[in-house]
Structure 1
Amino acid sequence: MALPALGLDPWSLVGLFLFQLLLLLLPPTTAGGGGQGPMPRVKYYAGDGRRALSLFHQKGLQDFDTLLLSGDGGTLYVGAREAILALNIQDPGVPRLKNMIPWPASDRKKSECAFKKKSSEELQDSYLLPVSEDKVVEGKGQSPFDPAHKHTAVLADGMLYSGTMNNFLGSEPILIRTLGSQPVLKTDNFLRWLEPDASFVAAIPSTQVVYFFFEETASEFEFFEKLHTSRVARVCKNDVGGEKLLQRKWTTFLKAQLLCAQPGQLPFNVIRHAVLLPANSSTDARVYAVFTSQWQSGGTRSSAVCAFSLKDITRVFEGKYKELDKETSRWTTYGVPDISPLPGSCSVGPSSDKALTFMKDHFLMDEQVVGTPLLVKSGVEYTQLAVETAQDVDGYSHLVMYLGTTTGSLHKAVVSGDSSAHLVEEIQLFPDPEPVRNLQLAPTQGAVYAGFSGGIWRVPRANCSVYESCVDCVLARDPHCAWDPESRICRLLPTPIPKSWKQDMERGNPEWACANGPMGRSHPPQSRPQIIKEVLAVPNSILELPCPHLSALASYRWSRGTAAVPEASSTVYNGSLLLLLRDGVGGLYQCWATESGFSYPVVSYWVDSQDQPLALDPELAGIPRERVAAPLTRVGGGVTLAAQRSYWPHFLTVTVLLALVLSGALIILLISSLGALRARGKVQGCGTLPPGEKAPLSREQHLQSPKEHRTSASDMDTDNNHLGTEVA
């Protein structure tokens, strides 16, 4: 920072001195980081009024874990602890309770859980009506014994396909089909089709099969530690089990490895959730899944979203198998057996004994299902996701992903045409961190519902009204939002889409998209602002000019007219400009944002002195003005104007600390000097007194025995021997 010029008045010198002390006091500005990967452009904290959310909660109920949307999209079915709810979500406000079925655990079951050392938490806060036990259906194999066990289930063609734990200890995973007219089938635990630690996350039905997505220990790899891997398993809907072999067992069970990794990087080997996006006219059906890694990079977890083509999954299940060599305990490639139809295929009629014998040991496919990474981000653990497609003003479709985190945030990500994702926003749903339990997208209602321990949040899938200008609306790159030049408002895209509305999803550059709008600029950015905030201050005051950071992706800088701000009397802290108001430092101050190669003024201030007002700049004539009271601190005498935030306590703190430090240094210096003088005096007093000096006045010292002042030869020998021992 430049040195102050000489010839200033005393108050100006005091102001410069205190300004320098303020700069020393302020902590260094740290760049906000959310880990590597795309950053959310806008972040809303819990309770932020700019992002209006609606909360449904019911007294006495908790753990809103399971969400299911009705066929007409107007009812949301919720599975909570000891209750099932039906919510009316047709209105845009808070969901309303339509009906509720209390379903508490019986006293006998609660006693059994407590006896088996399970938590007795269910014994508390139960205000629900009891249900007679003759109406309760046995849920073994269909639901877990412990809520901590990850499980999944799906209804397909009137049958329930479940993946859960089949025992109380959680060491016997099972895939089972119940209900409906087909026979009950399940996996064979003795054949170890599933590892004991299998953890199920999703079940997705298709035309002929049902896919299960889960994570388990990888037995086919030799690794120095317990290696996790993500799987997709497949069973056929028309499977009826074997007649002699594999009775009441799956005869079509197959599983394959899912691979989600970046080139040259460790894979994301732990799957957390998966959803299916059906095929449309332009794309095939795809499965989108969220992964984390069992390894931490830099002490933080990482997450990834990968896309898997349903065609690739089908092709892998029609390929080669793996076989376990029982002598070496190694898995090898078997190839394609000479059996027709192919074992594990959804053929009509019972399979042959040869095919069933083959299926007992060849349930693992040789090839991996390789996914395409769409979003990779460190420092975040995604738990749930929901996906949809959105059409922009040009007719192109974009993939929109809603991602829930372990800390209770919701990310909205958009995938561009080049398969790269950008984060539109981050919404912190809960004031205290807790995982998002479930996400359910309601397209007809334009909302996403997030379940957690205390209720359900209704989150509108877009927040267009927060973008107050065409520039901000276009830079957001939200396919649900576009700028309406007639009403001069950023609006939700209607159907059909008006051709005059403005967007730029690929580049996010408003230079041409807003050329004809109210914020349009057909030339490079100009310094002429849209509105000027007038700040009237007294001399020798420290003025704070805030700069609202509308985007976390933009870089910000300050300018004074067409030049840079004066370094000797200003500094930038947390985006705000701290300005020491001296003679000649008034005028136009602007905070500029640069994003996607486009620069625009975020805010403009006209700083003027109360004693010597500046003449109005003719180039700024006609621009609307608004008088504001900016936070400032008076350094000299006089009255402080609009002191919303005063830095005077900081000055006092610095002064007191400086005085304490100087006093402490002085005391230490004095103590050190006195210690040196005492040591010097002791050294000088140990020898024989020079002639002419008097003997010591201390009578005790004078009367001491001569024995204490002498050293005998025996004592010297003893000391010499002791010293020699220590040296040796």
Structure 2
Amino acid sequence: MVVIMCPGLSVLTVFCCLASALWAFPFGPVLELDVTPRTTVLVNGLLGCNRFRGLAVNYSSLLLEDGAGLLYVAAREALYALNSANISTIRNNSSIDWAASADQKRQCLSKGRDNQTECYNYVRFLDRYNETHLYTCGTHAFRPRCAYIDVERFSFVRFEEGKEKCPYDPAKGYTGLIVDGEMYSASQYEFRSTPDIRRNFPFPNLRTEEAPTKWLLEADFVGSALLRESINSSTGDDDKLYFFFTERNPEQSPYSSQTRVARVARVCKGDIGGQRTLQRKWTSFLKARLKCSIPEYELQFNVLRGVYVLEGPSVHDSTLWGVFGLEWKNVKASAVCQYSLKDVQAVFDGPYMELQESKWREYTGKVPDLRPGSCITDQHRAQLINTSRDLPDNILMFVRRHPLMAREIQPIGGRPLLFKKRVDYTRIAVHKVTALDGKSYTMFFIGTDEGWLHRAVEIGDRVHIIEELQLFKESQPINNMVISHKQKSVYVSAASGVVQVALSACVRYTSCYDCVFARDPLCGWDGRQCAEISSYADKSNLTQDIQMGNRGCDDITADGLVSHRTRSVMTGDDVLLQCELHSNLAVPRWTLNGEQLQGYGTDRGYRTGIDGLLIIGAQSRQSGHYRCYAVENAVWVPICSYMVRVQPAPPASPHLPTDPTALPESFFTTTSAVPVTPTSGPTEQPLHSPPAALPSGPEFQTNRHMEAMYISLVAVLGGLCLVLTVVLLYVSFCAHSAPAGRKYSQEGLAVTAATERKWSSHLELKTISSHCNGRADGRGRAASTDGAFLQIVPGEGQASPSKEPPPAPPLPMPPPLPSTDYTNGLSATLPSVLRKMNGNSYVLLRQADSEMTSPLYHSFTEELNRILEKRKHTQLDLQPDESSV
């Protein structure tokens, strides 16, 4: 077990400890918590999605009425009534404009507010008031207002003051709900007021206490819920409302970094305040800490960002889930923790905390017999205490000074269900599903701060992320989510609009093993397609395996749908065999003539990477039939097949020196997989022809020795990401005779550029891979580009014009490049020896604009310009199937 202790007196020390803890996750016992989504779906690959985007922005509140088939949406200065079956269809009278007046916006500006973000009417609250009306509230340019909406006509019928019900600032955390005609809300309402939990109507209005002990400290609310605990309750408890928030931590903490803490507060629905003490204040307010941490690393997730409450068969069997984040804004990491309502109730029935000498300590004194903070029960009624106003003053004084519970609410299992690095979760919704095995599974829909949706399922004691969906092109936080069981959809809102996403897109899985590997409780394979199991009356012929994710498919390793290609290469060339894996959880395995290739490295002549298998310095023994398999859940699935033929090199031209080190720099070329047909001209020579003979003279008779060649590697590590940037290659030759002839492989496009130099030059080799196993943008999203780009850039060298160049040192073997592990288990290494890349890549050699001492400079420059001019008109076939020499 690895334990990282962070004493926490220095901010820098705490940050370093936190960073080291996150960096250590892949090597510790919580590896299974950092879950990788199986597949990644970009916005243009979404299936069955409907979108709505009106003239407004900032779609924040969603109210779903499944029975009526309506989805009410609140945005900035507008409200909409949408068809829940297809939110992109607009019906008549489906929108209400609710903008702040020009005069009100001018007053907002006079208060020093921002006219770009604050001086608008942000609709923050929308709920059903009664059978005929909705109730809504908005910031109204820093002067909150509320209104009643006639549902039938979808229009306003009455306005009223909203400063006690809605915050002034649109950025303040807010939550609210209407229960039995009573409105409850929690926020920081006024401009400079403290946070408050209130009952707004009917009379009497209630609020939290501020003295002598503040019950709430800079609270940021994220959600609320009603649990009718009095139904079938033998104790006669009233129903309770729970409010979830993050606040400033008033308790003594061993770590100075823990300035915030996640909380849940509870009040009784039947509370009407005290008679003398706590008049118009809650007499039942209690709060406790929601603990979400990874104990092995002392890593605390203290910021609560979203919550979802799901009632069980009995209300006391209800479960709640929270999404948590870290306090450090520049460190992204999220966790999902699950809590039982019984554990929450046990903490509220436990010991209290007391403020002693400016520090919170557990209260060890006597507690009144009628437990402070509890709802009115049969025990109270037996003592003629029928309402909170009948409570004695000693109980109310105790409540006033002891709002905090001593014990923490621990998550089920003592640790998070899900941990995700480099992601900030914002909202969560939960859905219960019964699979073909008869078991009930919990599905999660989790929104991120960048507009992505993670669809996951809980399997045993861990969470499997089925897929991650990019819902919006522009990066933006998910504001709200709601699930429709009737429409089998989840509705997701963000700043730019609302998206309706099917609970499952089974048709995306095109084969039996793909359907089974997904482990989606909603999907099954019927022998021809992957479809929703709910659409079948007879489910006996469907295939599904949620627990293992690998059983039920026949002939899973057949080659029927595998693509076959042929590659012909020259002896000594390098060839890249691409193998694209669509699952982030799959790892590639290669076979040659039916035997698995064991181990990879330059000494074995192979190197694997995210692009596929690289054959280094191809030899005749490496000819044969190559197959690539995607191995997932211990099942080998064939992906592609290659027939590779290694051709012997043609005999050297009599004009070419037999020693390759004696070749001039102009012959250093690398080829790609596309044959070239250059354009012709009166003074041009074909690309496959050797350059013109070098001029001879006394100056070149003396230069018969090879100049030095150096190869070096530069690796740049930025932050926590290893970026492979530059390989430096130094090549310079001096030759007496004019070379003619050079072998070219039709597997690539060669662009030759060289200059004769009397001094040494440094050449920089840059490799930029455009294929990353289905991930291309900054977050690692999918792409399907077929190749990499190699670039040789000459640098500056130093030489004395009056001295003979020293003899060339032996060519050193460059060190291996560092590896970077990816989510699919591949090693993103490049070969430590790079020559001619006989695959879908090319090498560009270009010279620096420096003064040349050799008379060959201008002739080679003219030749290079002619060659490049021909290449402009060359049409490239990006997917060659057959290549020849």
Scaled to the shorter chain, the TM-score interval is: 0.7 to 0.9
Whether the 8 Å contact between 2:196 and 2:216 is mirrored in structure 1 is no
The one-letter code sitting in structure 1 at the alignment partner of 2:749 is: W
Which whole-Å CA distance do the structure 2 matches of 1:655 and 1:362 have between them? 84
1:271 aligned onto 2:304: yes
Which whole-Å CA distance do the structure 2 matches of 1:222 and 1:78 have between them? 42
1:189 aligned onto 2:210: yes
- 1:390-405 → structure 2 map (5 Å cutoff): 390-405=433-448
- 1:583-662 → structure 2 map (5 Å cutoff): 587-606=624-643, 632-634=673-675, 647-648=748-749, 652=752, 661=762
Provide the residue aligned with 2:323 in structure 1.
290
Which whole-Å CA distance do the structure 2 matches of 1:594 and 1:283 have between them? 44
The one-letter code sitting in structure 2 at the alignment partner of 1:53 is: C
Provide the residue aligned with 1:480 in structure 2.
522
Deviation at 1:109, TM superposition (A): 2.9
Provide the residue aligned with 1:549 in structure 2.
581
- 1:13-162 → structure 2 map (5 Å cutoff): 37-47=34-44, 49=45, 51-59=47-55, 61-72=56-67, 74-91=69-86, 94-97=88-91, 99-121=94-116, 135-162=158-185
Look at both structures and tell me which one has the larger radius of gyration over its CA atoms. Answer: 1
Q: Provide closer, same or farther for how the CA distance between residues 610 and 68 of structure 1 changes in structure 2, counting only shifts above 3 A.
A: farther
1:688-710 superposed Cα distances (whole Å, 9 cap, x missing partner): xxxxxxxxxxxxxxxxxxxxxxx
Provide the residue aligned with 2:452 in structure 1.
409
- 1:230-245 → structure 2 map (5 Å cutoff): 230-245=262-277
Which whole-Å CA distance do the structure 2 matches of 1:539 and 1:287 have between them? 61
1:202 aligned onto 2:202: no
1:669-698 superposed Cα distances (whole Å, 9 cap, x missing partner): 32594999xxxxxxxxxxxxxxxxxxxxxx
Deviation at 1:55, TM superposition (A): 1.8
Q: Provide closer, same or farther for how the CA distance between residues 673 and 189 of structure 1 changes in structure 2, counting only shifts above 3 A.
A: farther
1:346-398 superposed Cα distances (whole Å, 9 cap, x missing partner): 34412222221221111111221111321112211101111111111111111
Task: Please point out which of 184, 188, 199 is paired with 1:177.
Answer: 199
Provide the residue aligned with 2:541 in structure 1.
500
Task: Please point out which of 280, 289, 301 is paired with 2:313.
Answer: 280
Provide the residue aligned with 2:420 in structure 1.
377
Secondary structure at 1:233 match in 2: strand
Q: Report the structure, 1 or 2, having the larger helix content.
A: 1
Q: Provide closer, same or farther for how the CA distance between residues 672 and 156 of structure 1 changes in structure 2, counting only shifts above 3 A.
A: farther
Provide the residue aligned with 2:331 in structure 1.
300
Which whole-Å CA distance do the structure 1 matches of 2:222 and 2:519 have between them? 31
Provide the residue aligned with 1:28 in structure 2.
none
Provide the residue aligned with 2:829 in structure 1.
none
Which whole-Å CA distance do the structure 1 matches of 2:315 and 2:209 have between them? 41
Task: Please point out which of 451, 468, 478 is paired with 1:426.
Answer: 468
Provide the residue aligned with 2:665 in structure 1.
none
Q: Provide closer, same or farther for how the CA distance between residues 161 and 281 of structure 1 changes in structure 2, counting only shifts above 3 A.
A: closer
1:213 aligned onto 2:244: yes
Whether the 8 Å contact between 2:270 and 2:375 is mirrored in structure 1 is no
Provide the residue aligned with 1:337 in structure 2.
367
Task: Please point out which of 289, 296, 318 is paired with 2:349.
Answer: 318
Secondary structure at 1:632 match in 2: coil
Q: Provide closer, same or farther for how the CA distance between residues 399 and 497 of structure 1 changes in structure 2, counting only shifts above 3 A.
A: farther
Q: Provide closer, same or farther for how the CA distance between residues 596 and 331 of structure 1 changes in structure 2, counting only shifts above 3 A.
A: same
Deviation at 1:151, TM superposition (A): 0.7
Q: Provide closer, same or farther for how the CA distance between residues 430 and 647 of structure 1 changes in structure 2, counting only shifts above 3 A.
A: farther
Which whole-Å CA distance do the structure 2 matches of 1:452 and 1:414 have between them? 24
Q: Provide closer, same or farther for how the CA distance between residues 654 and 155 of structure 1 changes in structure 2, counting only shifts above 3 A.
A: farther
Secondary structure at 2:308 match in 1: strand
What stretches of structure 1 of length at least 5 have no aligned partner? 1-30, 521-525, 612-630, 639-644, 677-728
Which whole-Å CA distance do the structure 2 matches of 1:562 and 1:498 have between them? 38
The one-letter code sitting in structure 2 at the alignment partner of 1:576 is: G
Which whole-Å CA distance do the structure 1 matches of 2:111 and 2:32 have between them? 43
1:546-602 superposed Cα distances (whole Å, 9 cap, x missing partner): 323121111102222313569887654433345688867665322111112222212
Which whole-Å CA distance do the structure 2 matches of 1:56 and 1:120 have between them? 26
Q: Which shifted more, 201-210 or 587-596?
A: 587-596
Secondary structure at 1:648 match in 2: coil
Number of paired residues? Answer: 596
The one-letter code sitting in structure 1 at the alignment partner of 2:520 is: D
- 1:686-697 → structure 2 map (5 Å cutoff): none
Task: Please point out which of 559, 565, 572 is paired with 1:535.
Answer: 565
Task: Please point out which of 663, 668, 675 is paired with 2:798.
Answer: 668
Which whole-Å CA distance do the structure 2 matches of 1:188 and 1:664 have between them? 73
Which whole-Å CA distance do the structure 2 matches of 1:42 and 1:374 have between them? 20
Which whole-Å CA distance do the structure 1 matches of 2:316 and 2:194 have between them? 39
Whether the 8 Å contact between 1:558 and 1:592 is mirrored in structure 2 is yes
Which whole-Å CA distance do the structure 2 matches of 1:294 and 1:231 have between them? 15
Which whole-Å CA distance do the structure 1 matches of 2:566 and 2:438 have between them? 50
1:25-80 superposed Cα distances (whole Å, 9 cap, x missing partner): xxxxxx9xx99701000011232x25453221012x00001111114162111110
Deviation at 1:275, TM superposition (A): 0.9
Q: Provide closer, same or farther for how the CA distance between residues 385 and 671 of structure 1 changes in structure 2, counting only shifts above 3 A.
A: farther
What stretches of structure 2 of length at least 5 have no aligned partner? 1-25, 124-139, 148-156, 229-238, 378-385, 649-671, 677-686, 690-745, 764-792, 807-885
1:171-211 superposed Cα distances (whole Å, 9 cap, x missing partner): 510111123x4521111233444344110010011110100
The one-letter code sitting in structure 1 at the alignment partner of 2:174 is: H
Deviation at 1:475, TM superposition (A): 0.9
Which whole-Å CA distance do the structure 2 matches of 1:460 and 1:542 have between them? 46
Provide the residue aligned with 1:10 in structure 2.
none
The one-letter code sitting in structure 2 at the alignment partner of 1:648 is: L
Which whole-Å CA distance do the structure 2 matches of 1:82 and 1:336 have between them? 54
Fraction of identical pairs, as percent? 31
Secondary structure at 1:368 match in 2: strand
Which whole-Å CA distance do the structure 1 matches of 2:624 and 2:68 have between them? 57
Secondary structure at 2:63 match in 1: strand
Q: Which shifted more, 458-467 or 230-239?
A: 458-467
Which whole-Å CA distance do the structure 1 matches of 2:802 and 2:245 have between them? 71
Q: Provide closer, same or farther for how the CA distance between residues 410 and 489 of structure 1 changes in structure 2, counting only shifts above 3 A.
A: closer
Provide the residue aligned with 2:553 in structure 1.
514
Which whole-Å CA distance do the structure 1 matches of 2:623 and 2:404 have between them? 75
The one-letter code sitting in structure 2 at the alignment partner of 1:466 is: R
- 1:242-253 → structure 2 map (5 Å cutoff): 242-253=274-285
Q: Provide closer, same or farther for how the CA distance between residues 43 and 675 of structure 1 changes in structure 2, counting only shifts above 3 A.
A: closer
1:563 aligned onto 2:619: no
Secondary structure at 1:421 match in 2: strand
1:357 aligned onto 2:397: yes
Secondary structure at 1:90 match in 2: coil
The one-letter code sitting in structure 2 at the alignment partner of 1:597 is: A
Provide the residue aligned with 2:23 in structure 1.
none
Which whole-Å CA distance do the structure 1 matches of 2:362 and 2:756 have between them? 76
Deviation at 1:221, TM superposition (A): 1.8
Secondary structure at 1:354 match in 2: helix
1:645-673 superposed Cα distances (whole Å, 9 cap, x missing partner): 97425x64799999953798996132594
Which whole-Å CA distance do the structure 1 matches of 2:243 and 2:642 have between them? 60
1:388 aligned onto 2:431: yes
Deviation at 1:318, TM superposition (A): 1.9
